[in-house]
Structure 1
């Protein structure tokens, strides 16, 4: 693992502020930064999240993204890692996602400026590029889509654009884009897959025979550390587990770590695409009162190839894997 080193012309942070600290990515970031000897102040909204971040070694700051005292909580912090987000992939949730993902990012960055924070890393996502079509070996030069797949892609894309546009000397903002975050302590991807298998709702889309990039959570944390230290302001970086893998192969391996075997049942992707499109239209017309069984956002995320090129992160950040897929799967078997 890389320890935090100064960005060009700057200093490594001794104290940083973290949003989303009680989430899956946030918990792992706290562990990583604390292990590196960095003091972490973590935003926490409830007694439960305060207990979570405290137990991991962070100093909690009670409040939310819009707290008027947020800048005071960031006092003395040289850096900010903004990991908080609403990740709902459903339809009819545009207003809620816009408030958290867009306006929340705007509020956090404003507080960081007021507090004198000089380096910001935004945890973004490959979803900012998704529109429902396959994405093959995408680089960071890929333009944002004219018609994002759904509210999550749209609002995370808006948040990333507004954040990177604010980057300037003395207030440098960098975005890190992972894909399919997984690993020990996972409370998102693996539990959802396992729940679908256990309930009998699991089915492969077009047999699951398409490629995907993945990002072990330890590799994401490494990417964040490197982006904080070496990232160029105003730039985004993909971080993944390296070579893509067939979605069916990887999902089967993940489920096997939980003693589960997925069924062979498969459904045509074209049919699901139509269902998702109709469902999103109904949600839009009804103001979210009527939703279908599948959204275009879910389809775009899980039903087609999405593979990313990490040459930029390797060349600019010095990014390399700290955990291989094989190592991560063995770790999950022993968890």
Structure 2
């Protein structure tokens, strides 16, 4: 815990609001950047102090005045074939870190993603020193990788730490789980080549714990993978999540090679048409959800003393206990694989 407030961008998003809840529960003062009055009300209800602004347009330094730690959780999650996500994630990170430097913050945590390493090829037990791919899977991967580079460029001004989770899930999930539920209920769910490839996951409580440890113990300029521990197959992961909602996926399966071709063709048509034609699946979406992605988290264990604070089984039990809630957001499942990939 720090003597000065923690400043969190994207404070009303899934990761952001759980970070607010986590640090408030520890007695920490939290300032949460949001973009609307409704989002401000949500952050205030969690015990945070909301400020309204936008990482792409606002003068953020005055809003950060007095804070000691930045957690940059705001990001464009667009996994489509367009280039805007890359530009937004680059510029948002650049402006946020300039503001943190100018406001005199001493520590900054960049919430990143395994997507920075995605090229469409399997990623098996990859470590933090794995090079960025020469050809990123899409604009989201490219932009988030560039955001990491930008953040680390401020290492002379503050202690910069980068955390990479994979497939964040858990309590009050407004991303992956609602999308999966909607896809199954609409009859549009199908496995990709059976779903028997491995995937790391990160429960939201484990991510919050990892951020906390990084602030306390992380080495300046370092990247840390934060996971739930041993990976499971994508099929087992999704089956477990759906079971907490009393649902079971169908046995339908789509060949991986077919989806890859559809994604590549769709991206090519998007480029050739100047964005007028968009296929049912982008290559970024394919890379996120169709191949093995497993992260090695030994560095976080060694440097931070990280260990998961909630197990897979306990996380599922938590979801089952809350399964009768009626406040889950509605999700449009018009394009099954693309929607699930964006949620991941």
TM range (shorter): over 0.9
CA–CA separation in structure 2 for the residues paired with 1:100 and 1:61: 20
CA–CA separation in structure 2 for the residues paired with 1:13 and 1:26: 20
CA–CA separation in structure 1 for the residues paired with 2:61 and 2:316: 40
Give 1:99 shift.
3.5
Question: Contact (CA 8 Å) 2:56, 2:88: kept in 1 or not?
Answer: no
Partner of 1:160: 148
Partner of 2:95: 107
Partner of 2:340: none
Deviations 1:253-273 (A, max 9, x none): 100111111000001000100
CA–CA separation in structure 1 for the residues paired with 2:86 and 2:132: 17
Give 1:165 shift.
2.2
Deviations 1:240-299 (A, max 9, x none): 000000110110010011111100000100010010001111112222221111111111
Partner of 1:271: 258
Three-state SS of the structure 2 residue aligned to 1:252 is helix
Unaligned 5+ runs, structure 2: 323-344
Partner of 2:329: none
CA–CA separation in structure 2 for the residues paired with 1:13 and 1:36: 12
Counterparts of 1:61-100 in structure 2, within 5 Å, are 61-92=51-82, 94-95=83-84, 97-100=85-88
Question: Contact (CA 8 Å) 1:13, 1:79: kept in 2 or not?
Answer: no
Partner of 1:39: 29
Partner of 1:9: none
CA–CA separation in structure 2 for the residues paired with 1:203 and 1:68: 42
CA–CA separation in structure 2 for the residues paired with 1:127 and 1:120: 20
Q: Say which of 144, 149, 166 aligns to 2:137.
A: 149
Give 1:231 shift.
1.1
Counterparts of 1:188-267 in structure 2, within 5 Å, are 188-267=175-254
Q: How much is the aligned-residue C-alpha RMSD, in angstroms?
A: 1.0
Question: Contact (CA 8 Å) 1:279, 1:294: kept in 2 or not?
Answer: yes
CA–CA separation in structure 2 for the residues paired with 1:219 and 1:109: 25
The alignment status of 1:53 with 2:43, answered yes or no, reads yes
Unaligned 5+ runs, structure 1: 5-11
Partner of 1:19: 9
The alignment status of 1:122 with 2:125, answered yes or no, reads no
Counterparts of 1:172-191 in structure 2, within 5 Å, are 172-191=159-178
Instruction: Count the aligned residue pairs.
Output: 322
Q: Say which of 306, 314, 321 aligns to 1:334.
A: 321
CA–CA separation in structure 2 for the residues paired with 1:141 and 1:195: 37
CA–CA separation in structure 2 for the residues paired with 1:200 and 1:241: 30
CA–CA separation in structure 2 for the residues paired with 1:89 and 1:281: 15
Change in 2 beyond 3 A, CA 1:296/1:13: farther
Counterparts of 1:275-286 in structure 2, within 5 Å, are 275-286=262-273
Higher deviation after alignment, 321-330 or 288-297: 288-297
Higher deviation after alignment, 303-312 or 57-66: 57-66
Three-state SS of the structure 1 residue aligned to 2:160 is strand
Q: TM-score scaled by structure 1?
A: 0.94
CA–CA separation in structure 2 for the residues paired with 1:14 and 1:333: 37
Partner of 1:7: none
